[in-house]
Amino acid sequence: MTAHRIMPRTRFLFVLAAGAAVVLAACGGAGESGTAGDARSGRLTIGVAFETLQTEFWVAAWNALQARAAERQITLLEAVSDGDPAKQLDQVRTFLTRRADGIILVPKDGKTVIPMIKAANAAGVPIVLLNRPADATDAAHTVVAPDNATITRDTVAYLIQQARRSNPRVKAAILVGDLSDVNAVGRRDGFEAAVADAGGSVDVVARIPTDWNQEKALAGLQTALQAHPDIGLIFSSSDFMFPSVKSVLSAAGRWKKAGEPGHVVLGGFDGDATAWRLMVDGYVDATGVQDVFFEVDAALRAILDATQGRIPPPRIADPGFVLTQANRASLEARTWGAIVAKQGQ
Amino acid sequence: MTSDESWIARAKHRGPRTLADGSAFMLAVNVAAFAAFAIALPDFRSPANLATVLVSSLPLLLLATGQTFVLVSAGIDLSSPALVGLVSVCGGLVMSADVGWLANHPAAVPVGLLAMLATGTAAGAANGFCVARLQMPPFMVTLTTAMFAGGLAVWLVHAVAQTETLFNLPEVFLALGRHGWVDGPLAVGAAFVAHVILARSLVGRWLHALGYNARAAYLSGVPTSRVIVCAYALSGLFAALAAVLLTARLETASPSHGRPLLLDVIGAAVIGGTSLAGGRGSVLWTAWGVLFLAMLGNGLTLLNLSDFVITIIKGLVILTAALLDQWRRHWRTTSASVADTVIA
Amino acid sequence: MSTDLPRSPSPAAPSAPDARGPAVPAVSWESVSRSFSGVPVLRRVTLQAYAGRVLALVGENGAGKSTLMNILGGHVPAESGALRLGGLPYAPRTPHDARAAGIAFVHQELNLFANLTVAENLHLHDFPRRAGLPWIDRAAMRARAAALLGQVGLHLAPDTPLDRLSTGERQLVEIARALGTAARVLILDEPTTSLSTRERERLFTLLATLRDRGLALVYISHDLEDVLRLADDVAVLRDGEVVAHGRAADFTGHRLVSLMIGRQVTQLYPARRDPPERASADRPDELGVPRLEVRGVSEPGIVRDITFTLHRGELLGLFGLMGAGRSELARILFGVYSAASGAIRMDGRPLAGGPRARVRRGMAFVTDDRRHDGLCLDASVTDNIMLATLAACCRTPARLVHAERVRATVRRIREAVRLSRAAEERQAVRTLSGGNQQKVVLARWLLAKPQVLILDEPTRGVDVGARAEIYRLVRDLADSGAGILVISSEIEELIGLCDRILVMRQGELSGELARDAFDRARLLAAALPATAAAATGAHS
């Protein structure tokens, strides 16, 4: 009864399996002779894996990479992992099986990136971490990252100089980032160094922990301003917290442009579009800018060097620059936030 | 597969409705997807890339396998991806050379593994208890467990290590995640055992019956509560296995491991043909679903499509599978009212 | 008139009806054929139904009755042949078309929504609007619902949620809904299967009224007694063909059965052995310990002080109207519900725990609602048959199912219950006929070799042939020493099958009849509430 019912099914499966075998065999044959077409044509192929594209900064970096790669006739393999390190590891492996000549990576954190570096090492492919360093490891890689401490120190030194014009003794506050993030630590250290350099003329009345959170910044700054209404300088460890600063200062009647009476000297870090607009409007005095274009160039150059047998240095510092009201016009083209702000209009 | 043929009821009439049914259909879909990508993309068919596809799909295979048990019982487990994070952190807290309870101790790895598997199983069993004994809706229970496990994992890491992730795990443990030869047999073996349990064991058959009609199973003397607890506990256990794999691979214990996989987990099971209404389902079908999603993800990446587009396409595929599930059920019920008069 | 009745033994199709109706049939099927996947279900069926007359359609499950009606109701198109409605060509494409043409369908599986009120259920297709606005006029809806309910003799508040109604009451609601659509033709598919005697009487009075109002009624039923009482014309279908079509007066029950199954039915009920004698005080060992002793079982609002004994080898009937607490008692005995007080002993030892514990002690329960409580409809025949006894086919210690053993077991038991050969073992039971579904349920419990078997409405929706086989199986099981409790609303069934009958009324045992005292009137009298019993007693 059932035998003749099952027969066609078995035969169907058999045909499918046979078909699959033929396809596999064909592919196996092709696989041996076939290579990535790009490698044969002599063009360089670089895999780019970003952890996120959700903030302006990463989009700016992504666009800069594409523009520079196009100029240099480099093919990019692109991937975004949406904050999922497991996915990023798979993406790196895919780059390796596609015989990428190098990999540029924005990792989620300094730890999960290590297996990815090891995988690249094992395949003999150079790997560059963009903007975010890895934790201590003996696996070989290059990091291109801003020198947070130095850029911040220079920025804060400029801010102090501005503040002392009106008042020789400056009361200052800093919005500290999430201290498990090396960037936040570097910026805090740079701030403290600049304060120390200024001798006894700066009195840091508030070090406000924010954990990179707008609400915390808002509440902390409010408290600080109540305790010390005469604060004359505020440094925000990242530009994205300026909206909180604006709201607190407006409420206290201190949201004034540079030059107006009661102006609080303001500075930040990143050089994003918000900061750029606030500088154009005259509220913010200076911000430390990460030089995205430098970082992208350095990353590409590191991989080119490696492919030509030169070993790139383990660490390339992005010197960045301090964007001030004075040099704003001349540095506009190098400030990524300015470009974003212009596109947004 | 033979066991499915002898066990799972199939629609009486052949034709379009059987075409969308069961293992043969998924095999055909997989072969078609493979052939399409292999022809279009030389990179896709390179052995190294195929190995990457298979290896990268292992954590999903484990999670979806566990999910299949729960789906067959007519439940749903939204907590298993979040449990991966909690289990991972538990393992890290035992084994990490920085802050681990048994840092650099020879027993760290066995104790750590045991703690991971126990955590997952216990959390799953707790889900099962709430569903079976307290009669709470599975959706609510597991969603709450997901929130609880996610929060607990982050809190534990912060409280013990003041960081977000744990690092410096023992080399022996990391070897479990080394590309290919260890994790492959481990995951495939576990999935095979799961397949046998679901398709051939007493508990597995009871699970099917209870998914089709819990009242009928109860009135026939099936220990329904125990069987449901068992399904959720197995889902927890497989979440723990996935956590072992992910933690070892990324050499890091983190609360965020596994969490992005939720949609893929349920999607893979449903693409395979496991019914969201319960009763119908097989680990083998789920494995086909996992393979399909993995090939799709890889193939589309090789086409240089952006991640957002890939996510959209995956979402559409899963939606189609859920729709197909709905149609199958519809066919079955409408054909029955007609078929009543055909057979007898 | 049509003579296309190849196997019809003698009677001509009813000629044009008498003065009661017009000469044009309300509905006529002209050589209608239909097949499913190559299996012919209807073969050139020609049939007429007239306004002001009841046409009864009888046949075994699978004879094609439902398909014939589904074609009329727009659920399934005919492959060849034609339909005429009042003489005009009629080809419904959807159930909506049929409804619009004045065809109302009361299905066997009720199409009502338990979460809505009675009034809402009555207006699913046409909620009254408030003067063209998209709001429902609830007052109008309630008034109209009350009128419709009055027509079917159901005195309920229109706002009563449907889930508070008994199955019988829901049936009446379904008919009321059909009346609400201004139907010309009313099709009733097995309307009495879940009705109590009283509700059935009420339904028949109602149907007679509707017929006299000029509706054409098509009545499908397995209950031949009802058919002969109610119908003006009868058509018998067998294997998709009309094998007889004529006036009801020309048929007898016996002849209908023979026509339906195509052979002579000698005996519906199996022969009884000598009645098992009660274990009395002076002969306690004769029958051994009773299978089941129920002592003073009470649960407030459900059953009160139930005491009875079920002996070895005994087939004990339990009769009562719907709502008398019969099914609830069965569920208490099986451990589904708990009882506030009382004791239940099985084979001399107290019974405790839920269904699982009872099954392990050797108890089995065939529920009255096999679709919801009895079967996994989408699971296979094999899975359903093995549900209670799969553990016995497992290899220890891994408890893996021994496929070969399962196959052998299923082969054996399906032979024993004479499950249709067409039913494949891996086929979903949803696709089986009611009779075969019930055989699957029985097969499941026969495998468990029960010492005590409780059957709640074991032949509901089951055709005559399967019925006889079920009776035989139950009798054989009793003869092998099991105690069996049969709950039924069909008096004939209990009288034909049982050794002794208990009667329940409003949660209490109200009577007990030994076999030599079986009597319809006495059973009914004991089952009806005191006042109604007096009235009925006068008639019978």
Same-domain status, A87 and A153: no
Rounded to the nearest angstrom, the minimum Cα separation between B326 and chain C is 14
Q: What is the mean pLDDT of residues C187-192?
A: 82
CATH number for C338 = 3.40.50.300
Same-domain status, C321 and C215: no
Contacts of A81 in chain B (CB under 8 A): 307
Token pair of A342 as six digits: 């212009």
Instruction: Please tell me whether residues A278 and A211 are part of one structural domain.
Output: yes
pLDDT tens, position by position, A165-205: 888 899 999 999 888 778 889 999 999 999 999 888 999 99
Q: Is there a domain that residue A313 lies in?
A: no
- Mean predicted confidence (pLDDT) in A26-40: 41
Tokens representing A332? Answer: 């506009």
- Both C314 and C248 in one domain: the answer is no
Which pLDDT belongs to residue A186? 92
Mean pLDDT, chain B, rounded, equals: 86
**What are the residues of chain B with a beta carbon less than 8 Å away from any beta carbon of chain A?**
5, 24, 27-28, 31, 34-35, 38, 42-43, 45-49, 51-52, 55-56, 59, 162-165, 167, 177, 179, 246, 249-252, 254, 256-258, 260, 298, 301-302, 304, 306-308
Would residue A112 count as lying in a domain?
Answer: yes
Asked if residue C341 is part of any domain, the answer here is yes
Q: Residue A70: inside a domain, yes or no?
A: yes
Cα(C392)–Cα(C383) distance, integer angstroms: 14
Does A34 fall in a domain? no
| Secondary structure (DSSP) of C254-298 | HHHHHHHHTS----SSPPP-SPPPP--TT-TTSS-S-SEEEEEEE
pLDDT of B344 higher than 60: no
Q: How does pLDDT run across C426-457, given as a tens digit for each residue?
A: 888 887 877 889 999 999 999 999 999 999 99
For chain C, say whether B165 makes contact (Cβ under 8 Å).
Answer: no
The nearest CA of chain C is from the CA of B304 a distance in Å of 44
Reply yes or no on whether the pLDDT at C335 is more than 50.
yes
Name the domain boundary from A123, A140, A157: A140
CATH of the domain at A212: 3.40.50.2300
Q: What angle do CA B137, B139, B143 make, to 5 degrees?
A: 125
Asked if residues A90 and A106 have their Cβ atoms less than 8 Å apart, the reply is no
C113 and C170 inside one domain: yes
User: Among residues C244, C261, C278, which one ends one of the domains?
Assistant: C261
Q: Where are the alpha helices (DSSP H) in chain A?
A: 3-33, 37-40, 56-71, 85-97, 113-123, 148-166, 182-197, 214-227, 242-251, 273-281, 292-307, 328-331, 336-344
Together in a domain, C238 and C369: no
Q: For residue C452, give every residue at least 6 positions away whose Cβ sits within 8 Å of its Cβ, in sequence order, or none.
A: C291, C292, C310, C346, C362, C363, C364, C482, C483, C484, C485
Interchain CB contact of B133 with C (< 8 Å): no
Q: Are residues A136 and A158 in the same domain?
A: no
* DSSP character at residue C80: E
Q: What is the pLDDT of residue A17?
A: 56
| Whether residue C504 sits in one domain with residue C370 | yes
CA distances, C293 to each of A334, B94, C307, C313 (Å): 95, 60, 8, 14
Exposure string of A130-143, with b = 16+ CB inside 10 Å and e = fewer, is bbbbbeebebebbb
B 275-314: CB under 8 A from C:
279-280
Is the domain of C347 the same as that of C232? no
Query: Residue C263: its pLDDT value, please?
Result: 58
CB atoms within 10 A of CB C19: 5
- Label residue A245 by pLDDT band (50, 70, 90): very high
Maximum C-alpha span of chain C: 81
> For the segment C372-391, what is each residue's pLDDT rounded down to a tens digit?
899 998 898 999 999 999 98
**Is residue A68 over pLDDT 70?**
yes
* One domain for residues A49 and A103: yes
Q: Looking at the 3D structure of chain C, how many domains does it have?
A: 2
Residue C82 lies in a domain: no
Whether A68 and A182 map to the same domain: the answer is: no
Confidence at residue B9, expressed as pLDDT on a 0 to 100 scale:
36
* Domain encompassing residue C99: 51-73+93-261
Q: Please indicate, yes or no, whether residues A122 and A155 belong to a single structural domain of this protein.
A: no
Share the mean pLDDT of chain A.
Answer: 85
Residues C296-319 pLDDT 10s: 999 998 899 999 999 999 999 999
In a domain, C409, yes or no: no
Q: Determine the pLDDT at residue A234.
A: 96
Q: Is C346 exposed, middle or buried (0-12, 13-18, 19+ CB in 10 A)?
A: buried
Give A19→chain B minimum CA distance, Å.
8
One domain, residues A53 and A173: no
Whether C36 sits inside 8 A of B8 (CB atoms) is no
Contacts for B160 with CB less than 8 Å, ≥ 6 apart:
B93, B99
Instruction: Specify whether A235 is located in the same domain as A105.
Output: no
Q: Is the same domain home to C253 and C337?
A: no
Residue C37 lies in a domain: no
User: Average model confidence (pLDDT) for chain C?
Assistant: 82
Residues A264, A155, single domain; the answer is: yes
C360: distance to nearest CA of chain B, Å? 8
Bridge-based pairing of strands C452-456 and C303-310 is unpaired
Work out the percent of chain B whose per-residue pLDDT is above 90: 59
pLDDT digits (tens, 9 = 90+) for C74-110: 888 888 889 998 888 888 888 888 888 888 888 766 6
Q: Among the CATH numbers 1.10.150, 1.10.3470, 1.10.287, 3.40.50, which is that of B2-6+15-333?
A: 1.10.3470
Residue C170 lies in a domain: yes
Residue A83 belongs to domain spanning: 39-140
Do the domain assignments include residue C145?
yes
The pLDDT of C469-483, averaged and rounded, is 92
On whether both A211 and A84 belong to a single domain, the answer is: no
Q: Is the separation of the CB atoms in C32 and C5 below 8 Å?
A: no
**pLDDT at residue A36, as a whole number:** 43
Residues A50 and A110 in one domain: yes
Last residue of a domain, which of C228, C244, C261?
A: C261
| Same domain (yes/no): C325, C458 | yes
Confidence band for A26, pLDDT divided at 50, 70 and 90: very low
* Helix, strand, coil percent content, chain A, rounded in steps of 5: 50, 20, 30
Cβ neighbours for C146, distance < 8 A, ≥ 6 positions apart: C158
What ipTM was assigned to the predicted interfaces of this complex?
A: 0.84
- pLDDT-wise least confident of A330-339, B309-318, C178-187: C178-187
Asked if residue C523 is part of any domain, the answer here is: yes
Q: What is the pLDDT of residue B21?
A: 52
Please state the domain count of chain A: 2
Task: Note whether C178 and C257 are same-domain residues.
Answer: yes
Mind listing the pLDDT tens digit for each residue in B280-323?
899 999 999 999 999 999 999 888 887 788 889 999 999 998 88
User: Are A132 and A256 members of one domain?
Assistant: no
Average pLDDT over residues A258-279: 91
pLDDT-based confidence at residue B7 (cuts at 50, 70, 90): very low
CB atoms within 10 A of CB C352: 10
